[in-house]
Structure 1
Amino acid sequence: MLGENQTEVKDFILRGLYVDGSAQPVVFTLILLIYVLTLVGNMLIMLLVWSNPSLHKPMYIFLGNLSFVEIWYTTTTVPKILSGFLSRNNFISFTGCFLQFFFFFSLGTTECFLLTIMGYDRYLAICQPLRYNVLMSSRICLWLATYCWISGFLWSILPVSLISQLPFCGENEIDHILCDTGPLLEISCVRDFTIEVACSICTSSMLVATFSFTCISYAFIIQTIVRIPSAAGRRKAFSTCASHLIVVITFFGCAMYMYVRPSGKHPFHYDKLVAILYTIVTPLLNPVIYSLRNKEFIKAVQKFMSH
C-alpha cells in the first residue's frame, strides 16, 4: 500500500545529456543534422524502392520497410532530446512517456524481426538460388514483412503494460534520454520482482532468438561462400550480405548490451552513450551503408539523379 503522503506522478523530467553550456549549441546542431540526414536518407531509400522497378525485389522491399521503421524509430526520441537543450526542465507527461516507450520498443522490436528476415532472405539467395523465387515469392515477402510489423507491436504490449501499472510517486526525474525499461523501473515506488523478471525475459528472449536465428543464417551463408571455387565469386556473394551484416552487428550489439545483461545498478552515463548510438547514429547508418556498398542501389540512385 502507498502512504497517504505520497503523490501520484503526473509527468516526468528527462534529464537527457549533460553538456557544458558552451558545447550545447554544437551538440544540438550535430544531433539535429544527423536527424535531418537520417530522415532524408531513409526517405530516399523508400522513394527509390517504390519508384524503381529494378528494386522490386524482396531484399529491397525489406530494406524499404527497414527505412520506414528507422524514420519513426528515431522520431520517437530525437525531437524530445533536442527539446531538452532548449528548455531548463524537459518535461514529458505520464501518457507521453509511456507512448514514447511503447512506440520506441515496438519499432525497435520490428527492426529486430526485419533484420532477421533479411538475413534469412540472404540465406535463400546464396544457399538456395535455384529455389529462391519459389521460397521468397512476392506473396511470401509481403507476408513476412507484415508478420514483422504485427509481431513487433504485439510483443511490446506486455512489458509496457506491466511497467505502466507500477506506482510512480515522489521521484519523477528520469536519468536518461528517453523513457525506457531500466530508468522507469528505477524510479518506481515499488520494485516488483515479478514484473522486472517478466520484462527482462520478454526483451532478452526476443533479442537472443532473433540474433541467434540471424547467426544461423550467416553460418550457412559463410559455409556456402567458402565452397565457391573462384575468389571473384566469393567476393560477389559476400558483397550481397556485407551491408546487412554491418547493420546487424551494430544494432544487436548495442541492444544486447542494454537489455541482455544481469539486473542491478548500471552507470546511466554509459547507458546514455549506447542509447545515443542505437537511437541516433544507427538509423543514419542504414541508408549510408546500403547505398555505398550496393552496386544495384548506386545504379538506381544515378538513374534517379539523371532524370
Structure 2
Amino acid sequence: MSADVEILQRKKILVVEDVTIVAMDIKSSLESLGYHVTETVPTGQEALRSLDQTKPELVLMDIMLEGALDGIETANIIKQEFDIPVLYLTAYADEEMLNRAKITEPFGYILKPFHERELMAAIEMALYKHNMENKLKKLAHYDCLTGLPNRALFFDRFAQSLKAARRSNHTMAVLVIDLDDFKSVNDNMGHDGGDMLLREAAKRLSECIRESDTAARLGGDEFAILLINLSAPDDTDVVAAKIIHSLGSPYLINRKCCKTGASIGISLFPADGDTEETLLKKADIAMYRAKEHGKNQYRFFHRSSG
C-alpha cells in the first residue's frame, strides 16, 4: 500500500492549539495512534479557513484559544456552518466557561495532560456518536425507499427557500409530479417491481435538477421539486420537459421492459402565491389538469387555469 493511499484511509483530524510545543505533542500522539493530522493551527480564524480547505473528520481544539475567537466561539461557528464534530481540550475551565461550551454541543472534553489511550477513546467515541446522529437524521428526513428528502424535509426546505426568494426577489418554481398509471405497474410487476420503478424514477428526477434544487418524495408515486433562484420563469419549461422525457423513457424491471409517464403541475413564486400552502395547492391543481389533458405532460397553473 502506498503512503498516499494509507493517508486517505486514516481518519483526518484538525488540531487547534495556540501553544506550539503542546500542538506538536498532540500531533505526535495522534500520528502514533494512526490518525492523519491535516494541520495544526493556533487561532480560531485559521481553524475556519483550514476546515474549508482540508475537510477533516474531527476538530480537536483548545477551549481557551488566544485571539479574536476563543475555542467556544470557534466551535459555535463550526456547529452552524460545518457538519464536523468538535472535541475540546482543556487544562482548566471554570463553571461559566463550561456552561458557555455546552451551548456548542461538543462531542466531548479531554483534560490536559492526557494519556494516549484516553485520547483515542474520546476521538473514537466522538466519531461514532457523530456517525449515529447522522444516521438518525437521515432516517428522520429522508425517504427510506428512494433516498430522497421526505415530506418533512421538503416543507422545511420549502419554507427556507421561500424566505430567501422574498429577500432576493428571485423567481421560484414548485413542481408536483405524479407517475401516470403507476397502479398498472404494481399490478403487472408486483409491489417489488413497483418499488424498483420508484427508486429509478427518483434517481432520474435527481439527475434532472441542480444541486441547489430539491427533489422529494411526498408519498406513494407522488414527488415534488423546488427550483430556486430562477433567472426567468421559462427556465422551468426546460427542467419540466427534461423530466417528462426522462421519466417517460423505458424502465428495465426484473428483466422486463415497462413504460410509464409523468403528469407535472407547476406554480411560480411570486406569480401564483407567496405561501407554501398556496403554491403547493396550485401546483397540485395544475398537475390534475395535466392528467385531464392526456397525461405525460406538464402544465403551469397560471397558463392552464387563467
* TM-score, normalised by the number of residues in structure 1: 0.20
Higher normalized contact order (CA 8 Å, seq sep 6+, divided by chain length): 1
* TM-score, normalised by the number of residues in structure 2: 0.20
Task: Judging by fraction of residues, say which structure has more strand.
Answer: 2
Task: Judging by fraction of residues, say which structure has more helix.
Answer: 1
Who wins on radius of gyration, i.e. which is larger? 2
